[in-house]
Structure 1
Amino acid sequence: MDEEVIPILRVASAGAAVAWYSRLGFTQQWEHRFEPGFPAFVEVARGRVRLFLSEHTGDARPDTLVYLRLRDVDAIADEFGVQPTDAPWAREIELHDPDGNRLRIGTPT
């Protein structure tokens, strides 16, 4: 088993969040609810990069910052209509998901 870190992001609507993250190339892997109508806990993945999206209020706080090192920051920037900037370590953009979580996305230079 490969060890990994999987950030948990607080979302109000897992369905809306999954749709937004699909624009970044993520796909839903699974969804868990303790009972119908209960808050959802979802995993999305893009290759080996994984995020947990949780409707549970105690799991995470809004306005979290996650850094994603991805290979196609320019294509993502085009999808979201933002301009990348060049830092010494990567070409980067910053996005906010519908719940206010911040994503800094970089392609190493």
Structure 2
Amino acid sequence: MDEDVIPILRVEEVDVALKWYELLGFTAQWEHRFEPGLPAFVEIARGDVRIFLSEHEGDAQPDTLVYLRVRDVDAIAAEFGMTPEDAPWAREIELRDPDGNRLRIGTPVG
């Protein structure tokens, strides 16, 4: 097993969040609810990158910032009608998901 870190992001409606994260190339891996109608906890993945989306109020706060390093930020930027900015370390964009969580997405330079 490889060790890794998986950020948990608070979302109000997991279905809305999933549609948005699919635009970034993520797909749902599994969903857990303690009982039907209770808040959802979902794992999404893009290659080896994993994020947990949680409707549980105590798991995380909106306005969290996650940095996502990708091979082609220009493709993602085009999907959202944006142009990446050049920083000394990467070409980057910053997006907010429907719940206000921030994703800074970059492709390293050099």
TM range (shorter): over 0.9
Per the alignment, residue 12 of structure 2 pairs with: 12
C-alpha separation between the residues in 2 aligned to 1:84 and 1:105? 9
**Is the counterpart of residue 41 in structure 1 residue 41 in structure 2?**
yes
The residue that corresponds to 1:103 in the other structure is 103
Cα offset for 1:83? 1.4
**Is residue 75 of structure 1 aligned with residue 75 of structure 2?**
yes
Following the alignment from structure 2 to structure 1, what is the Cα–Cα distance between the partners of residues 80 and 50?
A: 20
TM-score (norm 1): 0.99
Supply the distance in 2 between the matched residues of 1:13 and 1:108 (Cα, whole angstroms).
32
Q: Distance in 1 between matches of 2:14 and 2:82?
A: 24
What residue in structure 2 maps to residue 58 of structure 1? 58
| Structure 1: tracts of 5 or more residues without a match | none
Q: TM-score, normalised by structure 2?
A: 0.98
Alpha-carbon distance in 2 for matches of 1:81, 1:11: 23
**Alpha-carbon distance in structure 1 between the residues aligned to 2:89 and 2:56:** 35
Amino-acid identity (%): 78
Q: Name the CA distance, whole Å, in 2 between partners of 1:39 and 1:64.
A: 19
> Matched residue of 1:95: which SS?
strand
CA-to-partner distance for each residue in 1:49-102, whole Å, 9 max, x for gaps? 000000000000010000000111000000001110001110000000000000
Moved over 4 A (4+): none
> In structure 1, how many angstroms separate the alpha carbons of the residues matched to 2:85 and 2:10?
27
**Alpha-carbon distance in structure 1 between the residues aligned to 2:20 and 2:34:** 24
Specify the SS of the correspondent of 2:103.
strand
